[in-house]
Each structure stands twice: as structure tokens, then as C-alpha cells.
Amino acid sequence: MKINNIATAIVQAVFNNNFAFGIGFDAIISEAKKWLRKNVFMAKLILKQMDLSGGTLNYEGISILNNVEATSSKGDRIRIQNRLLCTPACLKIVAKNWN
């Protein structure tokens, strides 16, 4: 197998709900979210893009995206920790301290 095919197979196995009988799936997703938030969806970068977009994306839009993520959780459980995106409150704190 080629390296790319091996990597793809590993990722598909790990992100499968049945990997290790589903025991580690929530932990895998949690770690993936932490990495994405630290390396991609950084608060400063979100604020910068909000400024550059001229109000197209605002705190209300971020709040709606957070609600979408929360309601996609299993059952009635709403996740409020380990979000992929910062909350508007988090963004406001970063914006206040950034100046």
C-alpha cells in the first residue's frame, strides 16, 4: 500500500464509531477539536477575519454556530466544553486583551 492509502485507512478506522468498540470515540473527537481550536480556529484569527469581512460574521453568527455544534451532540446532552469554535464571550475577552 502507498503511504497516503495507509494514512487514509488509519484515519477512517480511528474516526469510525465502532473503533475499539466505541470506547474511545468521544475522546478522539475531543482531542481532534482541541488540535483544531489550537491550530486552525484560534480566537485571534477569528477576530481578525471578522474585522476583515466588514461585519459579515459577528458574535451572533458565532453563537449560532456554537448552538449548531451543541445540538449535534448525542441525545439531549448539550456539550458546553471542548467546543470547536470559541464562544462570543471568549472572543470578547481576547479582543479586550488584544489591544
DSSP reduced 3-state for 99: coil
DSSP reduced 3-state for 33: helix
Contacts of 22 (CB under 8 A, 6+ apart): none
What's the predicted TM-score (pTM) here?
Answer: 0.74
Task: Kindly state whether residues 52 and 82 are assigned to the same domain.
Answer: yes
Task: Kindly state whether residues 50 and 94 are assigned to the same domain.
Answer: yes
Cell numbers 484515519 label which residue?
11
How far is residue 64's CA from residue 36's CA, in Å, rounded to a whole number? 19
- Structural domain range at position 22: 1-32
Residue 76's pLDDT is what? 53
Residue 59's pLDDT is what? 92
Residue 39's pLDDT is what? 95
Domain count, the chain: 2
- Sites in the chain below the pLDDT cut of 70: 73-81, 99
Give the chain's length: 99
Residue 74's pLDDT is what? 62
Task: Kindly state whether residues 57 and 74 are assigned to the same domain.
Answer: yes
Task: Kindly state whether residues 91 and 65 are assigned to the same domain.
Answer: yes
Residue 79's pLDDT is what? 59
Are 37 and 84 a contacting pair, CB within 8 Å?
Answer: yes
Cell numbers 473503533 label which residue?
19
Residue 68's pLDDT is what? 87
Residue 92's pLDDT is what? 93
Task: Kindly state whether residues 99 and 52 are assigned to the same domain.
Answer: yes
